[in-house]
Chain A
Amino acid sequence: MRRLDLAETPLREVNAALQVPVSGETSWEIVNPRGAHALAVGLDAPIDVGIRGSAGYYCAGMNKQATVHVHGSVGPGVAENMMSGTVIVEGDASQYAGATGHGGLLAIKGNASSRCGVSMKGIDIVVHGDIGHSSAFMAQTGNLVVLGDAGDALGDSIYEARLFVRGSVRSLGADCVQKEMRPEHLELLARLLDRAGADARPEEFKRYGSARRLYNFDVDNATSY
């Protein structure tokens, strides 16, 4: 394991070391992150990165392959546009967690704020706590699992992403409806919960998704757009 200290090493050097890992080094620890923005972004190797503390905006942004484990909380846009790999946050996450993510797994052990999974494009997000309002806005594909409650306007203008919520949903956004939980969904959910280390039973969840009423313009739906 190699340790990088952000109190001594500039962000650029830390990210450069992680982006082009010296041969053989697969395990990294970052200490004193002190809320640094854009930390561990653009990684593209099957390495493990532990962040000892809290990070700022866009932690692990555009991640590919790497496993980034934050032992603290994160600011807005954690794992934004993630392609693959795993990002685990022990604490809470601010707005836009997993925004536009294409793949990989984002597991948040605490709560996530508003717009969690906004425009998601294939990523799997599992939030152990609650999520804020306007989450999964325009969510395209992928899965969002919430063990706690969801705020207002969940899944507004959603496309084909699947939303699973165990707790209450304050309100559903335009074109988002509760859907039948079929065996394949229970199976999928069981796998996701397992991968995210979440202690919950799939049967406890409700599934939400697109009613597909806004996919094509209809003048009678004009007020919903």
Chain B
Amino acid sequence: MAEDTKNQPPRTPPIQSATFTNAVNAEIRRAAATGIYDIRGGGAKRAVPHFDDLLFLGASISRYPLEGYRERCGTDVVLGGRFAKKPVKLDIPVTIAGMSFGALSGPAKEALGRGASAVGTSTTTGDGGMTEEERGHSKTLVYQYLPSRYGMNPDDLRRADAIEVVVGQGAKPGGGGMLLGQKISDRVAEMRDLPQGVDQRSACRHPDWTGPDDLEIKILELREITGWEKPIYVKVGGARPYYDTALAAKAGADVVVLDGMQGGTAATQDVFIEHVGLPTLACIRPAVDALQDMRLHRKVQLVVSGGIRNGADVAKALALGADAVSIGTAALIALGDNDPRWEEEYRKLGTTAGAYDDWHEGRDPAGITTQDPELAARFDPELGGRRLANYLRVLTLEAQTIARACGKSHVRNLEPEDLCALTVEAAAMARVPLAGTSWVPGQTML
């Protein structure tokens, strides 16, 4: 044998294609077998320029810091003071994003309300309407006004603390919920006035308005129905953030919610999540430009979401000009989503903790993204609420730590001047200098 191999010429080892990777090929095979696109939850999984590509400079001789714990660093924020008689006042600049009942179980919605209320922030309904679990446990609840209008009614509008007109989401700007093959449960069907067992199909455009001029009249109507009390937010996915923000503000929004491509979704086509929309980092400066050009920065508040994970992300978003941030995925993880303690069950579903994203199938071992009563019973809303409150406190403490280190007595005083970027891309998007240089790509000469 040894003799044989000696006489054979060396062979090229097998080489995997960088273009046709195993994952790509597996997806081609899956598509060929089923004839339907892949649907999943979560946000963009591929790496895109993000807050990790920014650093705070901190203070030294030219700037002096504030004393940790001793010197006050404020975190409160008021949303909606432009036109609303009753603006939303929050103790921390981190809110819970809209996540539909349907995607989440009733107890999970309750836990979000408990956690948010414990630290003085707001939570948000989602596609499918307002549940008692949620209203009852949320001190401040934002009621989403979506294209589907599932469950929409004037009583819930009036018992909301703010109204969020959803134009789009970062995970799918321009997309609705035409999620073929995704069945809805019976309670969800009833809340939405749909026949039981149909596939989820929500429209991508609002049924009774198109364009910014109509939106202005729609906002007028919502204000007239609610006596001009409630702040009106307009939520857009990161697509053309300068114009979308400007048009939302022109239409009379009190608050613009801007969601980048890393933003989670309950269920969307994978191709949409990964290939449509701008990274969160690329959205913020153009949106702030729009508000500044209209002299509305800090008058119309900007809430940024999409991939916020820790207090540094919060601080960076604020430094770039946001008034607050919103979290979806991170809140679910704080509740216990994708926890390794369920690894054995994730394996049975053909996945692993951290990668589980077939939320729409309703078999979540953690009992959060499901309507199955047995699975949902695994989740304890009180404990979940406490965990979320803890996590929100950590985000706040971390953001304060950074703000103090930059010499700021309020997190809102963070500014682009406090930042530098690790990569040329992030420097260009955030319009801060590349670390160690004074070069802002696209703004200053090298």
Choose, from B17-25, B100-108, B110-118, B197-205, the stretch at the interface.
Answer: B197-205
For the complex formed, measure the closest distance between the CB of B371 and the CB atoms of chain A, giving whole angstroms.
17
Whether A215 pairs with B198 at a CB distance below 8 angstroms is yes
A19 interface residue (CB < 8 Å to B): yes
Q: Is B226 an interface residue (CB 8 A)?
A: yes
Determine if A1 is an interface residue (Cβ-Cβ < 8 Å).
no
B228 to chain A, nearest CB (A): 7
Does A141 contact B224, Cβ atoms closer than 8 Å? Answer: no
Q: Which of B36, B149, B153, B214 is close to A119, meaning CB atoms less than 8 Å apart?
A: B149
Chain A-chain B contacts (Cβ-Cβ < 8 Å), number: 105
Given A62-B154, A81-B149, the answer on whether A121 and B225 have CB atoms closer than 8 Å is no
**Residue pair B221, A99 in contact (C-beta under 8 Å):** no
**A102 x B154 contact (CB < 8 A):** no
Cα distance A140–B189 in the bound complex, in angstroms: 11
Of the listed stretches A53-61, A146-154, A163-171, name the one at the interface; the rest are far from the partner chain: A53-61
* Complex alpha-carbon distance, A138 and B150, angstroms: 12
B126-140 contacts to A (CB < 8 Å): none
B178, CB-defined interface residue at 8 Å: yes
Residues of B within 8 A of A44 (CB): 154
Q: Is B152 within 8 A of A100, CB to CB? A: yes
Q: Which of A77-124 contact B (CB under 8 A)?
A: 77, 80-81, 83, 95-96, 99-100, 102, 115, 118-119, 121-122
In the complex, A96→B205 CA distance in Å? 13
Per-residue 0/1 for A183-225: is the Cβ within 8 Å of any B Cβ (1 yes, 0 no)?
0000000000000000000000000000000111101001001
| CB nearest to A38 among chain B residues | B221
**Set of chain A residues within 8 Å of B201, measured between Cβ atoms:** 138, 157
**B203-A159 in contact (CB<8A):** no
Neighbouring B residues of A76 by C-beta, 8 Å: 208-209, 214
Contact check, B207 vs A121: say whether CB atoms are below 8 A apart. Answer: no
Contact between B227 and A19 (Cβ–Cβ < 8 Å)?
yes
User: Is A41 in contact with chain B by the CB < 8 A criterion?
Assistant: yes
Interface size on A, residues (CB 8 A): 45
Q: What is the CA–CA distance of A215 and B198 in the complex, to the nearest angstrom?
A: 5
Q: Is the interface of A mostly helix, strand, loop or mixed?
A: loop
Task: Knowing A42-B224, A219-B35, say if A58 contacts B178 (CB, 8 Å).
Answer: no
Query: Which residues of chain B are within 8 angstroms of A16 by Cβ–Cβ distance?
Result: 227
B208 touches A77 (CB 8 A): yes
**Which residues of B (320-346) have their CB < 8 Å from a CB of A?**
none
Q: Does B181 sit at the interface, judged by CB under 8 A? A: yes
Q: Are B153 and A100 in contact (CB under 8 A)?
A: no
Tell yes or no: B195 within 8 A of A by CB: yes
Residues of B within 8 A of A121 (CB): 149, 193
- B217 at interface, CB cutoff 8 A: yes
Residues on A with beta carbons closer than 8 Å to the beta carbon of B218: 57-58
Distance between B193 CB and nearest chain A CB, rounded to angstroms: 4
- Which of chain B's residues has its CB closest to A219's CB? B35
Interface set of B (CB-CB < 8 Å, partner A): 34-36, 148-149, 152-154, 157, 178, 180-181, 183, 192-195, 197-199, 201, 203, 207-209, 214, 217-218, 220-221, 224-228
Q: Which 4 A-B pairs have the closest CB atoms?
A: A42-B225, A219-B35, A217-B180, A38-B221
Known contacts A38-B224, A140-B194, A216-B183; 10 further A-B pairs (Cβ under 8 A) = A41-B225, A42-B154, A56-B217, A58-B218, A62-B153, A64-B154, A118-B207, A121-B193, A219-B34, A219-B35
